[in-house]
A and B are shown apart, each in its own frame.
Chain A
């Protein structure tokens, strides 16, 4: 066990945990923030995606040791023009089915739009291939990203 200081959604926390513990479980079990999901634990599905220093990151394979000190943003408070546009587009197109993958999808989509404001189909493939949706809502994810990009262009 060791003590780690971390900043999540602008708030500082201190946790006393196993240095190997993935950020995912620090968020969920230690801080009680359950918006970030567990889907595979091996960086295959993207359900656990958070932003670490602005980059989309798989929190299930990010040991707390590596994440401590960074700025972590989760689905609970992801904000800004891109996030709003994405979440609104997600509702507009009724993207979610079971909804379990969608926190991760949205975190990846926001990161994508921040980097590529007007993504092509292949940009969307590149940015979103790491996120599995077992309900296969992909048609609508693609549509919603395009809608969000259009909203941002104004």
Chain B
């Protein structure tokens, strides 16, 4: 197994991708606020969701050797190496390995002959079947590729077998394939994929290749080593930060200190004195300093003097914003879902709880600060980036440079994390890079780099939210009413994703709250949408980051009020309508031996939540920590049902990572505004989880034959409420204002 470096194979890839027959398209032209004056993003969405693939082809290499390209995803070289073109970005969630596994399974390849390589930007060929644009998000990589990639592998196998049958003069049905070897038992003939690569290209691709029954899987469901681990353990993996071009300039941009502010004037006298600084330009989103290398760019930028126009900027402090949200939360918002009459039951009094939750703005802070390398001339542009939404980035760059999308070539490199940040619907980083290269007349390649401070100050946060919850129980302890008000910002409004909103409601604001699975007769969920200049964005598990916390802790409070057991009570409320939620809840209780004696001075809490069609239950065991009000989380048990676990070890890794990422933010992280200025700037104040704070994590995967669903995000939502519920058990304190630790600034 190895990871194929993009540079070596770029030629192979670009030749292999045949321009598809032009599908009928509609062009969506959308004005994007907050990006720059007058930017119009041309985003082309294919009208039909019909999967397309390039025709089979033979690609001649330098030495005349032939590579078999049965479709847009599979390349089989004369040495039998199978390269899978991966349409999803690899930033840690394992699509390189997972998608290659699907192809290898149906191809009956040996894992050692598999390689993975990023697919170029080409929407018709490589779009995400879940949302019609080429892009990664919503934990969809495996779900939308499961059939597509298996079919790609099965088609290639079919053609190889036909070629072998013809060469040997034997019936197709008598041929078997196993571990990369094609054999005919009777004649004793056998050969490798490479031997038939050229002949296979002449065969007709099957229109509906038949797929294996899950019971026949050899590779899917087993532990296959990841394709990229070695390169990432030796420093060889190339990230955008590492990519360079001859003559390249490093660009740092001084962006406005307040959201919604603009540069009024600037003085670059001192900047231009810094050795290595080459130029300074005013761009729509800030002032760009161009230099030979990062250090000169940084020193140059530090020396800039800028006057800002703060008209229309957000100038409030967090306390004022929260007070405003809180006031709204006291009233019912736009009703998203209603059953029975929650208000009436609550007004009748009895045993009720009223609670308000405050969730802060959060930065994604991927380990690799944001960056984008671009070179352009009058007729084309080439981009190297950890590009999560190629269709959108391509459209934004093309629009900015006056090119057609197909004139913008994007090479997607490994990205050092994203958690959503690289998937801005407004293509903020790609747009800045395009404006930067354009401002110097497209004369030299430029790499725009964010410092960590730029990243933390840069917006596109998990939005601040205030939730108000009211609940009632009757004399038997049954929950009779539930009223949930959510106040936050819309992520989709004003973006190309707006079409996913229904009745003016952004589903990402309420997901996980409006579809509460528990049987509560009187239920209402409503939402107030606020508009602020602080740009919001999806952040690993999106709305579930806050709805899982409020629903699962509030439920726990009501259950505690009734004196029932948290697991038993949940099972009862789920009834027989939610077998997969019930399944993970029972599995996690068994794994943790729920109900057995808990070590002294420790307590356990549980939470269960469905997100992105994956079901996860977690139990956390906590003790008092060294810091006031902050638990030490010793152990977390996780049960996950994600359908077929294509690579169980990757599933486990994502649960571990999801627990760690969620926990770090619940305990320590938050962004605050002081008169509009973000008060945190780096990992000293925007605190990240560290190894000494990481709990032990034990994961069980619930067996399932359902089609696979995502695992990148669903591990995150339950950890916060599981810890908070354990903490309440230990201390009697319900934490409703996150994070647990005081926010530093």
A interface list, Cβ under 8 A from B: 1, 17-18, 20-22, 25, 28-30, 32, 34-42, 44-45, 47, 74-76, 87, 90-91, 94-103, 106, 124-125, 128-129, 131-142
Among the listed A29, A76, A103, A138, which residue makes an inter-chain contact with B694, where contact means beta carbons less than 8 Å apart? A138
Binary CB contact string for chain B from 632 to 669 against chain A (1 if under 8 A, 0 otherwise): 00000000000000000110010011011101100000
Nearest residue, chain B, Cβ from A40: B452
Could you jot down 8 A-B contacts, CB within 8 Å?
A18-B295, A25-B294, A42-B682, A95-B233, A98-B414, A98-B416, A100-B239, A136-B664
Q: Decide: A133 and B294 in contact? CB cutoff 8 A.
A: no
CB pair B683–A45 under 8 Å, yes or no, is: yes
Nearest to A131 among chain B residues (CB) is B691
Q: Is B479 an interface residue (CB 8 A)?
A: no
**Do A139 and B369 touch across chains, with their CB atoms under 8 A apart?**
no
B242 at the interface (CB under 8 A from A): yes
Closest to A32 in B: B244
Taking beta carbons and an 8 Å cutoff, which residues of B are in contact with A?
Answer: 91-94, 225-226, 228-239, 241-242, 244, 250, 275-276, 292-296, 299, 365-369, 414-419, 451-452, 649-650, 653, 656-657, 659-661, 663-664, 682-684, 688-692, 694, 696-697
Q: Which residues of the other chain, B, contact A135 by a CB distance below 8 angstroms?
A: 92, 367, 417, 657, 660-661
Q: How far is the CB of B545 from chain A (nearest CB, A)?
A: 15
Which of A41, A98, A128 is the one whose CB lies under 8 Å from B91?
A: A98
Dominant secondary structure at the B interface? loop
Instruction: Note all chain B residues with C-beta closer than 8 A to A75.
Output: 234-235
- A50 CB to closest chain B CB (Å) equals 11
- State whether A100 and B657 are in contact (beta carbons under 8 Å apart), knowing that A45-B683, A139-B694 are contacts in the complex: no
Question: What residue in chain B is nearest A34 (Cβ atoms)?
Answer: B242
- Measured in the bound complex, the distance between the Cα atoms of B235 and A102 in whole Å is 8
Given A95-B233, A97-B93, residue A137 in contact with residue B367 (CB < 8 A) = no
- Give min CB distance, B669 to chain A, whole Å: 11
Say whether A137 contacts B657, CB under 8 Å.
yes
Q: Is the CB of B235 within 8 A of A35?
A: yes
B663 vs chain A, min Cβ distance (A): 8
B386 CB → nearest A CB, Å: 9
A106, A136, A141: which contacts B689 (Cβ < 8 A)? A136
**A-side contacts of B694, CB under 8 Å:** 136, 138-139, 142
B-side contacts of A97, CB under 8 Å: 91-94, 417, 653, 657
Contact A134:B366 (CB < 8 A) given known A94-B229, A100-B416: yes
Residues of B within 8 A of A18 (CB): 275-276, 295-296, 299
- C-alpha spacing A76/B468, complex, angstroms: 53
User: Which residues of chain A are within 8 angstroms of B292 by Cβ–Cβ distance?
Assistant: 29
B234 touches A98 (CB 8 A): no
Contact of A94 among B368, B418, B653 (CB under 8 A): B653
